[in-house]
Amino acid sequence: MKILLLGSGGREHAFAWKISQSELCETLFIAPGNAGTSQHGKNVAIGVNDFEAIEEFVLANSIELVVVGPEDPLVNGIYDYFMAKEELKNVPVIGPSKVGAQLEGSKAFAKQFMVRHGIPTAAYGEFTIENLEEGFDFIDEQTTPIVLKADGLAAGKGVLIINEHGEAKDSLREMIEESKFGKASAKVVIEEFLKGIEFSVFVLTDGENYKILPEAKDYKRIGEGDKGLNTGGMGCVSPVPFVDRLMMKKVEERVIIPTIEGLKKDNIVYKGFLYIGFMCVDGEPFVIEYNCRMGDPETEIVLPRIKNDLVELLVAVGNGTLKEEEIEIDERACATVIVASGGYPEDYDKGKEIFGLSSVNRLETIVFHAGTKQVGEKILTNGGRVLAVSSYGKDIHEAVAKSNAVIEKIDFEGKYYRKDIGYEFR
Ligand code: AMP
Ligand code: GLY
């Protein structure tokens, strides 16, 4: 079958790597892709939000399955776009409908959904210019720290955690009145602070049934010891030692089942991946966020731990027959370590030549490209997060050590990585 994958990060390289291993995959196209995805298929220069160009490409190339990597096209309604067109509506799009994608696209929508369906999450209030004064009163009633979240998509930057009431009020005003995060912060969710340890669970659903994929813990801060600025993620590990059978049972009963049932009750079409971010508070799981897609870099460890033919699973999602599939998980641990451009997540240079990629022993390590670009024979840096180096190991320690050893052989000007990924579990 001919498959089109949308996106251009490490997540999409991992998808391309996994999809291309399937016997069902005849041709894989990636739009727009990166220097890594082109090892597994053909990159095409189409942007993920250019629905008309995607439509034209799908029809011209008889594409039979579209896999959506990032959230943007989902929140912009690519699923609905396909469903509304006679010639496209039989091409399955792996990803939720526009309303379903609001679980990520609007924090207020997600909170209302959780409250409606009794899913454990932090207490909250939502505020706009209409009830800004109530927002200030609400802040006065909170203990510190205070969590402020821009309602809309803000490229992972829209969450502020503030230690002082006055400062929280100033930030609320800036978000709403001065559009601190553009339109995304015209509405703000103010939330109770949850103290605990985070982990993420991934679910694949055809809207009726679901499969739970391997869980992960990611490391968001730029610096070792979880210090410094937030990033898109500097590495992650799976399995997560404290997410034992009992925790997974709580997650499934209290969150996954009510979420899938809630989507059905609300008539929200959802056929794709759901990423649930949790805070474990004294042994109890609370939902911090939903994302309507897989995580990046979590995909770079979750897919390597899935033994199934991924295309078979995705076809089952499209057909509504996921119930018949059995997920097989690799017993080994997997860790990924991000190699970033110096300066990230603030300003950084692009276009630096990457050396040493061919010296990597690939037996138990996979070098996924995140921000790279091929120019002639050279591979150049083309983003803040450049590579995601994933390794298997008998445990997290071994997996991380293997990735770190491989990263030592790779070089480019300004190369930076955290050597302490998975430190609590090593
Ligand atoms: P989000 O964009 O919702 O994932 O939030 C970004 C990060 O902010 C999360 O990964 C958490 O580390 C932190 N965070 C979000 N909400 C809360 C909360 N209610 N309590 C504590 N930390 C939070
Ligand atoms: N690694 C966090 C995310 O994909 O949202």
- Per-residue pLDDT of 243-297, as tens digits, reads 999 999 999 999 999 999 999 999 999 999 999 999 999 999 999 999 999 999 9
State which residues form the domain around 138: 129-186
User: Is there a single domain that holds both residue 396 and residue 420?
Assistant: yes
User: Is there a single domain that holds both residue 215 and residue 169?
Assistant: no
Boundary-marking domain end, from 167, 186, 205? 186
Give the separation between CA 32 and CA 54, rounded to whole angstroms. 11
- Residue whose CA lies nearest to ligand 1 atom number 4: 289
Residue pair 247/200 in contact (Cβ under 8 Å)? The answer is: no
Say yes or no: CB of residue 20 within 6 Å of ligand 2: no
* Nearest atom within ligand 1 for CA of residue 122: 19
Pocket test for ligand 2, best of 201, 275, 293, 385 (most atoms within 8 A of CB): 275
What is the CA(223)–ligand 2 centre distance, in A?
17
Give the percent of the chain with pLDDT over 90: 95
User: Is there a single domain that holds both residue 289 and residue 380?
Assistant: yes
Judged on CB neighbours under 10 Å (0-12, 13-18, 19+), 55 is middle
Query: Is the predicted pLDDT of residue 226 greater than 90, yes or no?
Result: yes
Is residue 82 in some structural domain?
A: yes
User: Is there a single domain that holds both residue 252 and residue 294?
Assistant: yes
Boundary-marking domain end, from 51, 80, 95? 95
Could you give the number of structural domains in the chain?
Answer: 3
Reported as a pLDDT band with limits 50, 70 and 90, residue 362 is low
Boundary-marking domain end, from 42, 73, 95? 95
Say yes or no: CB of residue 291 within 6 Å of ligand 2: yes
pLDDT computed for residue 361 by the predictor: 65
Pocket test for ligand 2, best of 217, 291, 368 (most atoms within 8 A of CB): 291
Is residue 418 in some structural domain?
A: yes
Say yes or no: CB of residue 122 within 6 Å of ligand 1: yes
Is residue 323 in some structural domain?
A: yes
The SS3 assignment for 100 reads coil
The SS3 assignment for 323 reads helix
Is residue 72 in some structural domain?
A: yes
Q: Which ligand is nearest to the CA of 288?
A: 1
* Nearest atom within ligand 2 for CA of residue 11: 4
112-116, 133-137, 206-210: segment of lowest average pLDDT:
133-137
What is the CA(275)–ligand 2 centre distance, in A?
9
User: Is there a single domain that holds both residue 42 and residue 152?
Assistant: no
Q: Per DSSP, what are the bridge partners of residue 93?
A: 66
Say yes or no: CB of residue 12 within 6 Å of ligand 2: no
CATH number at residue 138: 3.30.1490
User: Is there a single domain that holds both residue 407 and residue 332?
Assistant: yes
pLDDT computed for residue 276 by the predictor: 98
CATH number at residue 280: 3.30.470.20
pLDDT computed for residue 107 by the predictor: 96
Is residue 108 in some structural domain?
A: no
User: Is there a single domain that holds both residue 375 and residue 319?
Assistant: yes
User: Is there a single domain that holds both residue 219 and residue 328?
Assistant: yes
Pocket test for ligand 1, best of 279, 284, 286 (most atoms within 8 A of CB): 279
pLDDT computed for residue 157 by the predictor: 81
66-80, 129-143, 207-221, 270-284: segment of lowest average pLDDT:
129-143
CATH number at residue 27: 3.40.50.20
- Residue whose CA lies nearest to ligand 2 atom number 4: 295
Give the percent of the chain with pLDDT over 70: 100
Interhelix angle 310-319/10-19, rounded to 10 degrees, is 90
Pocket test for ligand 2, best of 294, 298, 302 (most atoms within 8 A of CB): 298
Is residue 111 in some structural domain?
A: no
Is residue 102 in some structural domain?
A: no
User: Is there a single domain that holds both residue 207 and residue 172?
Assistant: no
Q: Which ligand is nearest to the CA of 199?
A: 1
* Nearest atom within ligand 1 for CA of residue 192: 19
Is residue 109 in some structural domain?
A: no
Which has the closest alpha carbon to 65: 23, 94, 22? 94
Q: Which ligand is nearest to the CA of 299?
A: 2
Q: Which ligand is nearest to the CA of 302?
A: 2
Tokens 């609001």 belong to residue: 102
Give the separation between CA 193 and CA 392, rounded to whole angstroms. 35
User: Is there a single domain that holds both residue 159 and residue 210?
Assistant: no
- Residue whose CA lies nearest to ligand 2 atom number 5: 295
User: Is there a single domain that holds both residue 305 and residue 353?
Assistant: yes
What is the CA(189)–ligand 2 centre distance, in A?
20
Q: Per DSSP, what are the bridge partners of residue 200?
A: 216, 277
User: Is there a single domain that holds both residue 205 and residue 180?
Assistant: no
Q: Which ligand is nearest to the CA of 385?
A: 2
